[in-house]
Amino acid sequence: MRLDRFLSGQTALSRRELTALIRSGAVTVNGASVRKPETPVTPETDHITLKGAPVKYEPFHYILMHKPCGILTAARDAKQQTVMDLLKPEDRLQKLAPVGRLDRDTSGLLLITDDGQLAHQVLSPKHHVTKYYAARLRDPFQEVYISQFYAGIMLREGDREEQALPAECVQLDERTALLAIQEGRYHQVRRMFAAAGNFVEDLLRLQIGGLFLPPDLPAGGTVRIFHKETASLWKKPDISEVKRFFIDNYSSYWIKDTI
């Protein structure tokens, strides 16, 4: 791998900035100053420093964000603030992108990565990665939602109706529900409750598979995780486990009288 390509994948600097630093003598490989951007390196074994600081090699990078409401889920936008604008300067790597979308008015867990294969698998319907949402409703929760969603509620898609995949739903309090879905349709949770005759006032994504929103991570905050931790994405916790986790960590704000 070329030296400049290696550094581009491990830092937030542009290729032009890195080229200038390399040519200035700010980079060493195994203790020797290297001034040619095209110098071949072996990331797994070579010791590389940039301005005296070691540059650790990670094939891919994974960041968990507590996305706040009012922020656009996109890699970039000319007019609106995006989730990428919330990253720490040192985390703004060139190829990072959010995995899927959380609506502008939805908060909660968002995974950001440069691992394109993993992102595709998380989003692909055939992998059945479950997403868990807490929804605060305008009107009281109705028991019929449980059977309606489990059977696959009908959603309007353009000029036709399509049946959503079966989804699990449990009640948290009079106007709060926990929902587990395996799709990523546009505004899906809001549209499911609308189809059932209710309205979602607040929506929080709590988990993707077994990967959960850290309870101590504030809105807008981020934390890096390692590749081995992404294995939990393919787990499917029982919704009762997610309910307990939610009650233990989020009830002070989200629900009043747990059931």
Residues annotated as catalytic are: 103
Closest to 210 measured CA to CA, from 182, 184, 237: 237
> Residue 247 in contact with residue 172, Cβ under 8 Å?
yes
> Residue 215 in contact with residue 250, Cβ under 8 Å?
yes
Q: Given its phi and psi angles, is residue 232 left (phi above 0), alpha (psi -120 to 50 degrees) or beta? A: alpha
Closest to 145 measured CA to CA, from 137, 157, 248: 137
> Residue 98 in contact with residue 75, Cβ under 8 Å?
yes
> Residue 6 in contact with residue 43, Cβ under 8 Å?
yes
- Give the helix ranges, DSSP H, for the chain: 3-10, 15-23, 116-123, 144-151, 188-195, 239-254
Distance (Å, whole) CA 60 – CA 153: 38
